[in-house]
Amino acid sequence: MVSPVALWLVTWCGCPSLFCLYRLNMAALLRSARLLKSPLFLVVPMMWTDLYTLLFCSLSSYTSALPCVSCRQYGVVPEQRGLVKDEPSVAVRSKQAQQFDWALAKLDSSVRRTGRVTKTLLLHIFHDICRTGYPSGNQALLMLRSCGSLLPEVPLVERIELSQRIWDKLQELGATYDVSHYNALLKTYLQNEFRFSPTDFLAKMEAANVQPNRVTYQRLIAAYCEVGDIEGASTILGFMKSKDLPITEAVFNSLATGHARARDMDSAEGILSVMKGAGIEPGPDTYLSLLNVYAEKGDFAKMKQTLEMVENADIHLMDRDLMQVVFSLTKAGHQQYVPEIVERMHHERGYVPDAMNLCLSLITHGHEETAFSVLKSFTGLLVQSQTSDSPDLGNFFLRHCVNMDKSVENIVRFCKDLKDSGLHSSPLQFTLQCSLEAKKTGMAVELMRRMKEEGVPLRPHYFWPLFTHYQKEKNISGTLQALRAMQELGVASDMDTFSIYILPSFPSVDSARTSLKVIVLDMCVFLLFYVTVLKHFGLITWVDNLSSPALPNVDLSAFRASLISGFRGVKLVLLSFFAENVAYFLYNLIDSMNETEVHSKEEQLREYFGLLKNMNISISLNIFRGIRNILESYQVPELVKLSCVSQIASCFCQGLEGKLSFLEKTLAELKAEGKTASSTLKKVITVLCAEEVKRALELKILYEADMTPAAYAMLINLCCRHDNAEEALKLKMELARKDSEVALDAQKYVALVRVLSKHGKLEEAIDMLKEMKEKDVQLRDGTISLLTLTMNTAAMKGDANSIRRLQEAIFTLGLAKPSSNLCSPLITCYLESGNYAGAFDATVEVHKQYNQMPKIHDLICGLVEKGDAELLQNVVEFLSQERGEMMMLYDLYFAFLQTGRYKEARKIIETPGLRARPTRLQWFAEKCIAAQQMEPLENMVDMTVKLFECDRDDMYHCLLRLCKETNDWQKAEATWMKMQEENLAPRERTLRLLADILKNNDKEVPFEVPEMTGEEMAVSINTHIQHHVLFIKTADPTTHFAISQTTVVFNQYPSSFCLLSATDHVPEFSLSDNANSLLIVSQVKRCQMKDALGTLKGMLQADQVPSQLAITRLVQGLASEGNTQDIQEVEALVKTLGSIKLSSMLFVNNAALAHIKNEDIDSAVELLQSFYIQNTDNQKSSISFVFRKVLDANNDAALDKLSAMVERLCNHFASYRAATDLFLMYLDTGRTEEAKFLLQRCAAVNEQKDAMFTYMLRAAQQPGQAAKIKALSELIPDFTEKENIYSHLVKCCGLDKDFSSAKALYERMQAEGVKADELTLKRLALLYKEAGEPVPFEEPPESFSFYADKLKKQRSESMEPADC
Amino acid sequence: MLHSQGLNMAATAAGKKVFEVFVSKVPWTVATKEVKEYFRQFGQVKKCLLPFDKETGFHRGFCWIGFTTEEGLQNALQKDPHIIEGARLQVQKNRKPFSGRKSNKEAEDN
């Protein structure tokens, strides 16, 4: 065989006389390769084929760089337009960081689930980045890296266009590109089989002053090799050599492809021995390169041979690799071999999404037949994941066929196959859905035709998506075309189709009529006619006019007449179309008739109701009530009956009564529980003594009689702290003698347990635990860890017995649930003494008893170190039996890593089917970082490269964290290189960390460093704030520096003073969301309403989100100026935001106030009235704010009309909210007489107990409100239980420090037999004590918050069922 | 009888006396008509609300069915599985009454 070295010489130098030189070069190359035999470079195969997806560690790139040599278009690197942009603000930067994380998470989850990204998602993120402006470097990186094989659904040409567009656009927006970006761009070229000139590429990099690195050269070599240009590849190799860069496996793999593409199979095959000669072991990717070149040639014998070689070399080719081979075979037209390759798949973890992506790529490339055969090969796997009864396998396949406009012929055949083989229950329907979604009318109609042939029913709504589409586009001919198809297919169009989906496409009635006449059946035209007539002359105008008080009465009868006749004619169409408005219209109609009119029109109205009934119209309850009340007052009982018969009132009303009874129940429960009075009254002794045990004990003897349990508890604790077990125990026994009921708190008990067990008093310690149980002492986390500590002390003494006893007591008593921590001391006890067998037995024991498995890592490490294979085997078997094989493998893996047995570790982590467990990997990484163990961590990061679903950025971040700890910049730099080679887009935190390490060592940072987030910035700014504020006052505000500095300060610390003065001086400030919101508030305060509105608009344009407060203040300010128009504008503006939570009443209330301000009270009344009438839900919304303002302003004119409205709502519409609000507002402003009067006129307010109760709750929050609550309870004595009223009154007295009232209250409660809850007693007791009077009852022992919590808990517990 | 019920309901404001189920996973191929027809086997269907998305022209895959009687509701809840055109519906008791909810599709059976 010809020496590959010699061949190389010829291809490279082309001149025999340079043989020696070449040989020298080769030797140097090989030397440099040998130098690299550190585990990091050579052990890990550098996969150049799918580095890209390593970003998410889910590889899916079988569409890698396998070019068709014929298309030799050369691309040019886009020019770097180094626009210098202004420094982005802190807010933008922090938004960038958030956005990056968001985008990464989005893409990540997409790749994790499906192994791919959709174009829609990618574009969505891209546009989002563009919208914000100032794209960061790694946002750009993330985008670029998603433009390759992660898009199997997108044709190659489109992908390239996309990546170019992203490159140009982001650069234009100011993203700075470093070498990692160029490398990423190269990768997209390779993955998308884009032909370009590598030398031009290098020239562009040079022009942009970006230095290529090893990864750049490797990819350029790959690019040359793709087109079989070995000469070009050699040139680059020369570059690498001259820069002393190491040659890695990836280069050799490329060369194998290169030789083959240059039709030099001998050299291609020779690569293996060249590599071996250079001391580089060929990896899976080397063989994959060979397999791919054989596949392209259709040489199946060689392929088989290579596969055997792979097996013999103990190398594992992943399914994903084999899928690449399938792709190569298909593309080269050798599909016949595909089944044989498919059979060799192992069906590893992640196989299904990968296989799906293979199918998608094949379809994209026009090989849907092969794709279908691949699909059929793994449907068995899909079936397993199928949960529903009706199978729908292959949906993704059908959808992509639709998207790629495959012929209906083919698609129908696939559908038939899927259906016949029982894989899909309704493939045609699904495909139809896809084509409808994709708005492919032609395909959809064709599919429906097929469905009809097969006897599948077609329905009118199948056409709705098409109509919707055309309607949006105002595409009349499209609408007509769809309509025609509908008729041709014999689908009868129904009313909805016409009224909602067809008509709105037409600009006018006439145009619709003319267009439709031509093609539509008469019946349809008829319907259409009436609907449109109504729409244009009909109800909406009607209702609007009728409800407006301004409308003169003149034409009403004419309107009515035409409407009634309209009803007769139009029937169905009319009413369903305007169902919502009909009800309100009806009320207005009847309301506008006088009694005689009603009587004379009784027949017509009767007909009306009859029509309504027939037409399935329902009217909400409150409008029904309104109608009923009028009819009743007009004495037309027959009509009343009819209106009911016709079921106008479909009772949709919220069950107000239900809620009340529920509250009553809650209160009853509270009462029952609250009355269990505690037996002991605990006196608080503040400090008996500090740290002096002796002195304390002396004092105790001195004042023996005065010793309270609390004093004992403190003393006991003190003794425990001083490790005095004897005395502590003595005191405890003494205390028990004095009062056997008394319990210590958990912490003191545990302290006692600890000191007792430490001093060998195990039985006594266990007695304490038992006592805790008896007295129901609750343990918190802190105290539980004290227990662990107690047992660990025993472990250090090797006292396994004590630990067992304590453990048993703790768990069987139920003091704490068994946890890994609590169980670990027992294992530690054996491990400490080197008794591994004992440790294992203890592990089994603990697992059996408590289902815990602590200290496994330590145990396995010990066994590995000791080389005790037999016991290790037992442990492993035990683990995989109890926790599953996966967990066992991780345990073993970490143990091998920890003990430096990396070869074994690698074997384990490469186990097929193993997937990343982030928590476990993180656990080990943290362990390494804490212990500053670089070697095991580095090895873990390397070995997990191909681990399914491994978050690579997380891995590298951990590695860099350790580099930071040890300040190892060389390691950090090497890490960065590896990240590029993996084609990873690091998160910002990772880049910052890396930059930090480099900077600390005075090294150049070769990339743009993302700025800190706002939060981080705030901390660093804090110290400089004073300086900056001073600076703003003095500096020339026009300088850029001043602006950027002050912007930073304001955005972090917006204060209204600074903001106003700053924006006055420097109008070009760009402020953050918060600062702008504050600015609005300040402007409103200064009555600069126009400015404030301007600021808001500016914010919305800049995609900023104003605060709730800012909008509220602005709207209130506008109302105080009577500016209804701007209120409406703000409402419309804010509506688009969606995300902020505003009071639902903000706009209604303030619009009403604005009307009132303009002395247009009628408009205000109309607004509020229709608000309550039109929607039952609105009963919850309060207009107290309006009443408060009107009352405060003593606006009697407004008040008169408003109270008339309130009565109307209450008595005609059963809408009580407004009346209740007014009533309470009267009460609140001390207008008791008015309140009383209102109550007489609107008796139903009496029943609004919910609102009253809420009012009381709120009032009792602030001092000075007792009188209001009293007044309320006098007017409506039964609005809640007496206990409730009294407890809130007591609360008020407490707030007011009004002892005499409180005392009087308590006496009244006694006299009336009203029981007080514990919290109320607590409050009363405090008042008595503060007044220096004896407390006439037993004060509840616990704290205020204890009882408050108790009440709250009781309340929420009894609330819960309501929420379900 | 209906008459007195209606009056009674209004007078006590007892709220909804419709027995509703919430149905999800409704296949796109069926519309109100089909759904109503299906549920009629369990009792008289008073209303059927299957909202369509006017942006896309497809319905949203869920709907509410109101029976006139408790019995109808119970019958529907007891049946499992609910299969319509080969797709399995998820039927559960409606937790929130749909009062005030706007609809483009509402129907009553008498």
At residue A898, the pLDDT reads: 92
Nearest to B7 among A388, A644, A652 (CB): A644
Residue range A168-174: average pLDDT? 90
d(CA A1119, CA A1098): 21
Q: A451-455, A584-588, A1276-1280, B90-94: which range is least confident on average?
A: A584-588
ipTM: 0.81
Is B60 in the A-facing interface, judged by CB distances under 8 Å?
A: no
Asked if residues B59 and B26 have their Cβ atoms less than 8 Å apart, the reply is: yes
pLDDT tier for residue A1058 given thresholds of 50, 70 and 90: very low
- How far away is chain B from the Cα of A392, in angstroms, using its nearest Cα? 10
Is A468 in the B-facing interface, judged by CB distances under 8 Å?
A: yes
Q: How many CB atoms lie within 10 A of CB A73?
A: 7
d(CA A238, CA A249): 17
pLDDT tier for residue A355 given thresholds of 50, 70 and 90: very high
Is A86 in the B-facing interface, judged by CB distances under 8 Å?
A: no
Cis peptide bond prior to B81, omega within 30° of 0: yes
Read off the pLDDT of residues A755-809 as tens digits, 9 standing for 90 and up. Answer: 898 888 889 899 988 888 888 888 877 788 788 888 888 888 888 888 999 988 9
A679 vs B102 pLDDT, higher one? B102
pLDDT tier for residue A697 given thresholds of 50, 70 and 90: low
Q: Contacts of residue A1214 in chain B, CB cutoff 8 Å? A: 13
Q: A698-707, A897-906, A995-1004: which range is least confident on average?
A: A698-707
At residue A184, the pLDDT reads: 93
Closest-CA residue in chain A for B33?
Answer: A459
Look at residue A1208 and tell me whether its pLDDT is greater than 50.
Answer: yes
pLDDT tier for residue A955 given thresholds of 50, 70 and 90: very high
At residue A679, the pLDDT reads: 24
Is B62 in the A-facing interface, judged by CB distances under 8 Å?
A: no
Which residues, numbered 367 to 396 in chain A, qualify as contacts with chain B under a Cβ-Cβ cut-off of 8 Å? 388-390
Do A461 and B55 make contact, defined as CB atoms within 8 angstroms? Answer: no
Do B104 and A500 make contact, defined as CB atoms within 8 angstroms? Answer: yes
Find residue A75's DSSP bridge partners: A196
Look at residue A641 and tell me whether its pLDDT is greater than 60.
Answer: no
Residue range A1289-1294: average pLDDT? 84
Residue range A331-359: average pLDDT? 90
DSSP state for residue A16 in the 8-state scheme: G
d(CA A571, CA A506): 23
Please give the span between the terminal C-alpha atoms of chain B, in angstroms, as a whole number. Answer: 13
Q: What residue type is assigned to position A283 of the chain?
A: G
Is B52 in the A-facing interface, judged by CB distances under 8 Å?
A: yes
Do A625 and B10 make contact, defined as CB atoms within 8 angstroms? Answer: yes
In percent, the amount of chain A with pLDDT more than 90 equals 22
pLDDT tier for residue A1051 given thresholds of 50, 70 and 90: very low
Q: A317-331, A477-491, A544-558: which range is least confident on average?
A: A544-558
- The tokens describing B23, both together, are 């149905």
Is B14 in the A-facing interface, judged by CB distances under 8 Å?
A: yes
Residue range A619-643: average pLDDT? 62
- How far away is chain B from the Cα of A52, in angstroms, using its nearest Cα? 35
- The tokens describing A1242, both together, are 């609107």
At residue A363, the pLDDT reads: 95
- For A412, A451, A459, A1229, B18, the CA distances from A455, given in Å and listed in that order, are 14, 6, 12, 74, 37
At residue A612, the pLDDT reads: 59
pLDDT tier for residue A1316 given thresholds of 50, 70 and 90: confident
Letter string b/e over residues A268-288, b meaning 16 or more CB atoms within 10 A of that residue's CB: bbbbbebbeebebebbbbbbb
SS3 B22: strand
Read off the pLDDT of residues A374-420 as tens digits, 9 standing for 90 and up. Answer: 998 888 777 665 555 667 888 999 999 999 999 999 999 999 999 99
Read off the pLDDT of residues B27-70 as tens digits, 9 standing for 90 and up. Answer: 999 999 899 999 999 998 988 889 998 889 999 999 999 999 99
d(CA A896, CA A83): 52
What size, in residues, is chain A? 1364
Q: For residue A663, with 0-12 CB atoms within 10 Å meaning exposed, 13-18 middle and 19 or more buried, which class applies?
A: buried
Do B14 and A655 make contact, defined as CB atoms within 8 angstroms? Answer: yes
pLDDT tier for residue A925 given thresholds of 50, 70 and 90: very high
At residue A1122, the pLDDT reads: 87
- For A59, A431, A1007, the CA distances from A426, given in Å and listed in that order, are 32, 9, 53
d(CA A1027, CA A1046): 11
d(CA A449, CA A433): 14
Name the CATH code of domain B19-93 (choices 3.40.50.620, 3.30.70.330, 3.40.50.720, 3.40.50.10490): 3.30.70.330
d(CA A62, CA A354): 9
Read off the pLDDT of residues A1157-1178 as tens digits, 9 standing for 90 and up. Answer: 888 888 888 888 888 877 666 6
Look at residue A1089 and tell me whether its pLDDT is greater than 90.
Answer: no
Look at residue A347 and tell me whether its pLDDT is greater than 80.
Answer: yes
Residue range A909-938: average pLDDT? 89
d(CA A1359, CA A628): 36
d(CA A94, CA A83): 22
Look at residue A1014 and tell me whether its pLDDT is greater than 60.
Answer: no
SS3 A641: helix
Q: Contacts of residue B17 in chain A, CB cutoff 8 Å? A: 651
At residue A514, the pLDDT reads: 65
Which segment, A7-21, A267-281, A1088-1102, A1169-1183, is predicted with the most confidence on average? A267-281
What backbone phi and psi angles, to 5 degrees, belong to A1178? -65, -5
Residues with Cβ within 8 Å of A133's Cβ and at least 6 positions away in sequence, in order, are A88, A92, A173, A174
| Average pLDDT across chain A, whole number | 75
Provide the sign of the torsion angle of the four alpha carbons A1154, A1159, A1163, A1169, taken in this order. positive
Is A1176 in the B-facing interface, judged by CB distances under 8 Å?
A: yes
pLDDT tier for residue A60 given thresholds of 50, 70 and 90: very low
Find residue A650's DSSP bridge partners: A620
A1016 vs A1174 pLDDT, higher one? A1174
At residue A465, the pLDDT reads: 93
At residue A90, the pLDDT reads: 58
pLDDT tier for residue A617 given thresholds of 50, 70 and 90: low
Rounded-to-5 percentages of helix, strand, coil across chain A: 70, 0, 30
At residue A385, the pLDDT reads: 59
Residues with Cβ within 8 Å of A1113's Cβ and at least 6 positions away in sequence, in order, are A1080, A1081, A1084, A1085
Asked if residues A665 and A1247 have their Cβ atoms less than 8 Å apart, the reply is: no
- The tokens describing A492, both together, are 């009868």
Look at residue A553 and tell me whether its pLDDT is greater than 60.
Answer: no
Q: What residue type is assigned to position A904 of the chain?
A: E
d(CA A823, CA A1220): 61
- For A324, A333, A496, the CA distances from A366, given in Å and listed in that order, are 16, 12, 40
E strands, A1161-1202, in order: none
> Which DSSP helix (H) or strand (E) runs through A832?
helix A820-832
H-assigned helices in A521-675: 522-537, 539-547, 556-570, 572-577, 579-592, 595-600, 602-614, 621-633, 637-645, 656-674
Nearest to A449 by CA among A398, B32, A471, A441: A441
Q: Contacts of residue A431 in chain B, CB cutoff 8 Å? A: none
Give ∠ CA A751-A755-A756 in degrees, rounded to 5. Answer: 115
pLDDT tier for residue A4 given thresholds of 50, 70 and 90: very low
d(CA B68, CA B88): 24
Residues with Cβ within 8 Å of A824's Cβ and at least 6 positions away in sequence, in order, are A788, A792, A854, A855
d(CA A926, CA A894): 12
Q: A205-214, A1093-1102, A1318-1327, A1348-1357: which range is least confident on average?
A: A1348-1357
DSSP state for residue A1054 in the 8-state scheme: -
Asked if residues A104 and A985 have their Cβ atoms less than 8 Å apart, the reply is: yes
Residue range A1312-1324: average pLDDT? 82
- The tokens describing A781, both together, are 């986390």
Look at residue A254 and tell me whether its pLDDT is greater than 50.
Answer: yes
Using CA atoms of A171, A177, A182, A187 in order, give the dihedral in degrees to the nearest 10. -70
Nearest to A519 by CA among A476, A475, A487: A487
A1078 vs A993 pLDDT, higher one? A993
Read off the pLDDT of residues A263-272 as tens digits, 9 standing for 90 and up. Answer: 899 999 999 8
At residue A982, the pLDDT reads: 85
- For A64, A267, A307, A308, A325, the CA distances from A291, given in Å and listed in that order, are 14, 15, 8, 11, 7
Do B10 and A621 make contact, defined as CB atoms within 8 angstroms? Answer: yes
Do A653 and B99 make contact, defined as CB atoms within 8 angstroms? Answer: yes
Asked if residues A622 and A1173 have their Cβ atoms less than 8 Å apart, the reply is: yes
Look at residue A1043 and tell me whether its pLDDT is greater than 80.
Answer: no
In percent, the amount of chain A with pLDDT more than 70 equals 71
Asked if residues A761 and A725 have their Cβ atoms less than 8 Å apart, the reply is: yes
pLDDT tier for residue A91 given thresholds of 50, 70 and 90: low
> Which DSSP helix (H) or strand (E) runs through A20?
helix A19-35
Nearest to A465 among B13, B14, B56 (CB): B56
Q: How many CB atoms lie within 10 A of CB A166?
A: 24
What size, in residues, is chain B? 110
H-assigned helices in B13-97: 32-39, 70-78
